[in-house]
Amino acid sequence: MEASEKLTTHEGATVRTLDDRLVIERLEVEDERAARLVRERAEAGQPPADTVRGAIEIGARVLEREGTAAEVDYVKAEFSRHTGELAEKMVKLIESGNGLLAEEIAKSFGAERQGTVQQQIKEMLDRTAEGQREALARQFSAKDGSNPLFDFKDAVIRNLEAAEAQRQQDGEASRKRIEALTREIVELKERDQADQRVAEAEEAGTRKGRSFEERVHATIESVAAVRGDAAHHTGSVNAEAGGKKGDTMVELGAGEGAPLARLVFEAKTDRGLTRPEAWRELNGAMDKRDAGYAVMVVAGDACVPSNTQAWLEYEGNKMIVTVDAEEPERLVLEAVYAIARSRVLARADAALKVDAVGVREAVEEALSELRCVSTIKKHLTGVTNSADNARSSLVGMEEKLKALLSQIDGLVAVVDE
């Protein structure tokens, strides 16, 4: 239970103390400044009780300081008084030449002293200061609890050691991460290279997987589409007249309307084919496919039928051409296509206006250029010296051949009705 003590009463006012609290009842304070302060703060929104409580707390501290200051002043005054009295006594003793003072000084500074008293005092203070410095140095260099900085130094050392350990740990972790990333990059690179090799192998396999007949047809189909013709791969399809002769059948003009005529192409990789056998193949293909011109495309010179030559027209409706077995040259097939197309269209319809002489001359010149191209390509296969000059000539001839092909196509035109 809290102890209550009644301190005083005045005109009905009561002040009690409850431990560290005051209880004030019916107390009036006549102070203009205090009343104004409580009123102004109340208008500002501060409860009057809080203002009064704060004023009492602050006032109590001020009164307490004033008491302390008075005591200090008293002590200082007494000290000054006693110091003055002591000084007066010392002066009197010195002036009277009292021997007792001399003895005291001698005891303090030694009978055998050298120099003045001030010098001995300075030397004594220097020794004391040096001793204190040495003691402080020993104390602050101690590695036990006697060093006031021991805990601080120990904490700093621990933190530095912990930081170094953490740095080494982080460095090791970073090194491992870098090694892992490096391995991953190497693996990804190797995987990418492997994927590229697989893709190249697959592409090569796809090219090799396609037959020579399919490769030739794909090139002819591309050439035909440019001219508005339609090429059909008929090697495995029976003709209307029966049989499967004719690997690629082209309907001229079928890409834009009704076909005007037909061409047929036979792709051969057989060696040792005789001329009669070749003619049976070509004539049979024209007959079965109702075509006006037949071309035998063979895979290299070794496959040219016996007693025949490449790049020569036979009987006005047959030709044998050689191409690379893996990559049939588009230009070669485009040239023979243009020649065969011009021949067939010239005979197919009276509605066509044909410059017969111009066609014949252009075709002969184109065939001559094709034979030169073929010859140069043969020489380039086994020749290394002067290869650049030969290739330059070849390029020039190929460009001239392209121009002749355009000329051939222009010489055959449909007459406007």
Q: How far apart are CA 167 and CA 174, in angstroms?
A: 10
Amino acid at 202: E
Q: Which residue has the higher pLDDT, 165 or 374?
A: 165
Q: Given this model, what pLDDT does residue 67 score?
A: 67
Between helices 387-411 and 356-382, what is the axis angle to 10°? 160
Joined tokens for residue 22: 């005051």
Give CA–CA dist 148/151, Å, rounded.
Answer: 7
Q: 219 near 201, Cβ under 8 Å?
A: no
Domain boundaries, the chain: 4-83, 212-414
CA distance 102 to 298: 145
- pLDDT tens digits for range 360-390: 666 677 667 766 766 666 666 555 556 666 7
Give phi and psi for 244, each to the nearest 5. -120, 25
Higher pLDDT, residue 45 or 70: 45
Q: How far apart are CA 360 and CA 362, in angstroms?
A: 6
CA atoms within 13 A on the CB side of 354: 18
For 316-373, how does the pLDDT look when each residue is reduced to its tens digit (9 = 90+)?
899 999 999 999 999 889 988 998 998 888 876 554 555 555 656 666 776 677 667 6
User: In the predicted model, what is the mean pLDDT of residues 20-31?
Assistant: 80
Cα separation, 156 vs 162, in Å, equals: 10
Residue type, 241: A
Could you report the per-residue pLDDT of 235-283, keeping only the tens digit for each?
766 656 556 678 999 999 888 888 889 999 999 998 999 999 999 999 9
Token pair recorded at residue 79? 């000290």
